[in-house]
Amino acid sequence: MGVNMSEILRPDQVQERYGRMFCNGFFTIVDERNGIAQVVEKCIARGPVEWDAVNRKRAGGVITDVRVDGHTLIMDAVIGEKPLRFGPVSAELGGQGMSALLVEGDRVRTRWEGLAGATVGIGACIPQSKDVIETIYPDGFRMGGAHRASVEIVTAKKVRVIIGADDTDTKEKGASWSMMMKLGQDCPVGRFLDHKIVQLNPKAPNKTTNCCSTAVSFAVKESEIPELVAFAKDYLAENTYSEDTVMTVFSGLKIPSDLEEFGWKCKHILFDVQDAIDVASRNGVEIIEVTGDKGTIGAVAAIGCFDMGLKAAGLPEDVL
């Protein structure tokens, strides 16, 4: 990637050199099929996260969007290299950004550039995360003051896997959203990322009460996907109260528009199981019958609605 590599340090070596810093997590999720990635950084406080979000978005590079969730910074990016645009504002404010994200086998290499105080974040803070494999420092690396610095941070390549489920409860007992939350907490594979409750058509004839399906997402190594799927299937089989439980699996950062459209329509249209099977087969969704097949529609819709934010929890008539 064009950097004169003079020194490679592990996280423990970075901490020994610079003292304990503030990064609680730093991992990279890639979707090579669509040429996109997501970088997630966790801090112990909100201030650095908000500052980094504004400055990284301003600088551009390979980052296309930035979101703040509490003490967590979520960055959408493209796979490749793009120059940063610190601009004249950097002379007074400093700056920070990511100029490259490259997939190299089972690793991801990101290049970070910073000005002034922002160099501490990329040079001493992120490199201490336990998720980092190593950081590559060029000759003459210096932090703080009026310095401009660049480092390369290497992490394990992760992918996002979404597990959807429906019909795990009955009118008498159980709640799908709770069971799936416990599944995420108990899962020993990868990193539990998110949990979504998806409101479906309340007029569905086979609903329990709320007519909701649920999905959870994980960041895992590609080699771990079979283990994750096996765990989730066994977990649902052991804990479901229903004879109609279905589980779905999707890998990737981009939900196909066809699948999203189906998920949205499930909020106001009544489909049959074959409709859901057809949509799933067109869009890379694996359907697994755990105890039956009536949960197919909701389990497929749970993945289709996963990235809709508040709309996932609402109905078309809700103002969100």
Q: What percent of the chain has pLDDT over 70?
A: 91
Count the domains in the chain.
Answer: 2
CB 60, CB 100: distance < 8 Å: no
Helix axes 257-265, 296-304, angle to 10 degrees: 120
Split at pLDDT 50, 70, 90, the class of 310 is very high
190 assigned to some structural domain: yes
pLDDT in tens, 240-285: 988 999 999 999 999 999 999 999 999 999 999 999 999 999 999 9
**Which residues fall within 8 angstroms of residue 319, CB to CB, at 6 or more apart?**
none
> What's the pLDDT at 3?
46
In a shared domain, residues 50 and 76: yes
Residue matched to tokens 């969007």 = 65
- How do residues 30-71 score in pLDDT, each as one tens digit? 999 999 999 999 999 999 999 999 989 989 999 999 999 999
188 and 98 in a single domain? The answer is no
CB 96 within 8 A of CB 118: yes
Question: Where does a domain end: 127, 158, 189?
Answer: 158
Say if strands 5-9 and 63-69 run parallel, antiparallel, or are unpaired. unpaired
Confidence at 176, pLDDT banded by 50, 70, 90: confident
- Last residue in a domain, options 116, 137, 158: 158
For residues 182 and 128, membership in a common domain is answered with no
Residues 117 and 224 in one domain: no
Range of the domain at 184: 167-313
Q: Are residues 127 and 10 in the same domain?
A: yes
SS3 per residue for 115-173:
ECCHHHHHHHHHHHCCCEEEEEEECCCCCCCCCEEEEEEEEEEEEEEEEEEECCCCCCC
Same domain, 287 and 242: yes
Whether 173 shows a pLDDT value over 70: the answer reads no
- Residue 319 domain-assigned? no
Beta carbons of 124 and 14 less than 8 angstroms apart: yes
Collapsed DSSP state (helix, strand, coil) of residue 208: coil
What average pLDDT does the chain have? 90
pLDDT band at 315 (very low <50, low <70, confident <90, very high): confident
Q: Are residues 129 and 230 in the same domain?
A: no
Whether residues 83 and 125 share a domain: the answer is yes
Give the domain CATH number at 187: 3.30.70.2200
